[in-house]
Structure 1
Amino acid sequence: MRVVSWNIHWGCGKDSRIRIHAIIDVLRKLNPDIICLQEVAANHPELEGNANANQFRQLAGAFGGYRSVLEPTSEIYQNNMPRQFGNLLLSKYRITQVHRHSLPWPPDETSPAGMPRGMIEVVVEAPGGKLRVLTTHLEYYSAVQRMAQVKQIKYLHWEACERARLYQPDLSLDAPFQLGFRPGSAIYCGDFNFTPDMPERAEMLATDGSIALQLVDAWSHTHPGSARAPTAGLHGFKWPERPDCYDYFFVTEDLLPRVIDVTVQSETAASDHQPIVLDIA
């Protein structure tokens, strides 16, 4: 099973031109089973390169054999037309549940910029059994908001683990209540907008005994003692000032025996971030 996570920067490469076909070409070569994308745009001509096209539709159409779940966390109307910006998940595997989580956006006087943030959660029927896959893109400008979002993710993870412990499907209930089993086992990925030395990463990994399945940084597990590969800051983009890691896979501890590798595809300049790849048995 292969999962790819990628902040595609609305397909805008280092030459300031949008080439969604270049994003599609990279993804096809990687041949993932699940694709998790951030910074997908629709009807945003003011973005660099003119992101006027509906990229959610373009990307879903390019991977017709996949099931698509979109989450435009930012949706602003102009001339009665929605300008959308957010996350997209595509899965070869059968999806049995979808949950779209809005993440906190507390006011922060020190950082008035920003946008709403969210997280897609799907339950997929993967070869090793049912599994939750979640993708997100956290706040960049405000540490206050970003930490609040991390804490909410940890709460939602606790909630899912506890519901998995308590809940069994009941076919006697009315249809909307027949959600089926939602496991605690999970893969969290995306652009978390924190570097490995920041407190938000420590919070993601913190243990307090209340969560049945602890989260583990999959890169640290597969590359113990190795320097972390940067996921942004390559190929001469204006941001960030130096190469560093902003994109992650966090997996529940029960999946560790199945984790084969985490890699960063550093060659492409189709986005200001690099695709990251999780291979799992």
Structure 2
Amino acid sequence: MRLVCWNIQWGRGCDGRVDLARIVSEARRLADFDVLCLQEVSRGFDARSDAGDGAGLPGGTGTDQFAELAALLPGYTVIEGVAVDLPAAVEGAPRRHFGNAIITRLPVHQVWRHSLPWPADPNVPSMPRIALEAVIEGDKGPLRVITTHLEYYSEMQRLAQVEALRIMHAEACAHARRPAPLEKPGTPFAATGRPTAAIICGDFNSAAGDSAYMRMVAPMPATAGAPDFFDAWLLQHPGPVTGPERAPTTGVYDHEQWADGPFPCDFFFVSADLAERVARCEVDLQSDASDHQPMLLELH
């Protein structure tokens, strides 16, 4: 089972060009993926701001990128996770959406869209954030795949969002241990059983070793009955959490937005019951199709 995770910056490469076909081609070059987890997918956002000063998403065309990705990947299911939902830029245009996507050719069971905490922080800009979760049927049984994109400017908000991810994991594991009975087939009272095995991936906007990262890999409370999370990179590349041996995931080619230089802030975290199945975890340092680098996780 191969998973690719990538913050695609709405398809905008380091050359300033928005090109989703290039994104898909680069992801396919990295792996014949079963699951593609994306952050910064847009719909309705173009290069104009509300003030009409051209300060919207650079290169944005306002198209429905979720639909474009579905057209580019026939045979795959595109699951939308909208975090930001704003009025249309002009009358008759679609509402403006910004968020994440899980795209897979494997069977999909239940899907959840978790709004993450957004405590007020008046000192910095911020936006709503979401964790998109799908139970996907792999060759070894079902597992939960969650992709997210945490707040960039506010450490307080990032920490609250990581805490919510940990609570959601504990909740899912409780459902796995004590599934509720099905009311009757065909109703919204779906079976609540969820696997404990989970992969959480995305742009954490927290460097390896920073506060949100360290909270993510902290042991789960014993009372939660939930397996801990491990950084999949370290499972395949043992060594210090930080250091020159660790591949950066942003700032490799875009030196304007990332003037401080490259560093890792995108991760695959796997629950302890998946740790032994991790066969590869790599960062593709070739692609400049986004300001972030795509990552690959392979489970045997």
Aligned residues with identical type, % of pairs: 40
Note the alpha carbon deviations across 1:113-155, whole angstroms, 9 max, x for none. 1110001100011101011000000000111111100000000
**SS of the residue 2:43 aligns to:** strand
Letter of the 1:209 partner, please give it. A
Aligned equivalents of 2:282, 2:183: Cα separation in 1: 42
Aligned equivalents of 2:28, 2:196: Cα separation in 1: 30
Corresponding residue for 1:21?
21
Q: Which of 120, 127, 136 is the aligned partner of 1:115?
A: 127
8 Å Cα contact 1:232/1:243 also seen in 2: yes
User: Offset at 1:95?
Assistant: 0.4
8 Å Cα contact 1:100/1:119 also seen in 2: yes
Aligned equivalents of 1:42, 1:156: Cα separation in 2: 27
Corresponding residue for 2:34?
33
Q: Which of 245, 251, 256 is the aligned partner of 1:233?
A: 251
Work out whether 1:88 is the aligned partner of 2:97.
Answer: no
8 Å Cα contact 2:42/2:64 also seen in 1: yes
Q: Which of 129, 151, 157 is the aligned partner of 1:145?
A: 157
Aligned equivalents of 1:20, 1:124: Cα separation in 2: 24
User: Offset at 1:171?
Assistant: 6.7
Letter of the 2:230 partner, please give it. V
Q: Which of 58, 61, 67 is the aligned partner of 1:57?
A: 67
Work out whether 1:11 is the aligned partner of 2:24.
Answer: no
Aligned equivalents of 2:165, 2:254: Cα separation in 1: 33
Unaligned runs of 5+ in 1: none
Please identify runs of 4+ aligned residues in structure 1 that moved more than 3 A. 168-174
User: Offset at 1:21?
Assistant: 1.4
8 Å Cα contact 1:104/1:152 also seen in 2: yes
Work out whether 1:247 is the aligned partner of 2:266.
Answer: yes
Give the TM-score normalised by structure 2.
Answer: 0.89
Letter of the 1:257 partner, please give it. E
Aligned equivalents of 2:76, 2:191: Cα separation in 1: 21
Note the alpha carbon deviations across 1:100-120, whole angstroms, 9 max, x for none. 000000001222x11100011
8 Å Cα contact 2:77/2:105 also seen in 1: yes
User: Offset at 1:169?
Assistant: 5.2
Measured on the aligned residues, the alpha-carbon RMSD in Å equals 1.5
**SS of the residue 1:51 aligns to:** coil
Letter of the 1:234 partner, please give it. V
**SS of the residue 2:119 aligns to:** coil
Stretch moving more, 46-55 or 142-151: 46-55
The alignment of Structure 1 onto Structure 2 pairs a total of residues equal to: 280
Corresponding residue for 1:44?
45
Mapping of residues 119-198 of structure 1, within 5 Å: 119-167=131-179, 170=182, 172=184, 175-179=187-191, 181-198=193-210
Corresponding residue for 1:257?
276
Aligned equivalents of 1:213, 1:147: Cα separation in 2: 20
Letter of the 2:35 partner, please give it. I
Corresponding residue for 1:72?
82
Which protein has the bigger strand share? 1
Give the TM-score normalised by structure 1.
Answer: 0.95
Unaligned runs of 5+ in 2: 48-56
Letter of the 2:238 partner, please give it. P
8 Å Cα contact 1:17/1:49 also seen in 2: yes
Note the alpha carbon deviations across 1:32-73, whole angstroms, 9 max, x for none. 100000001112112111232211111111111111100121
Aligned equivalents of 1:10, 1:51: Cα separation in 2: 10
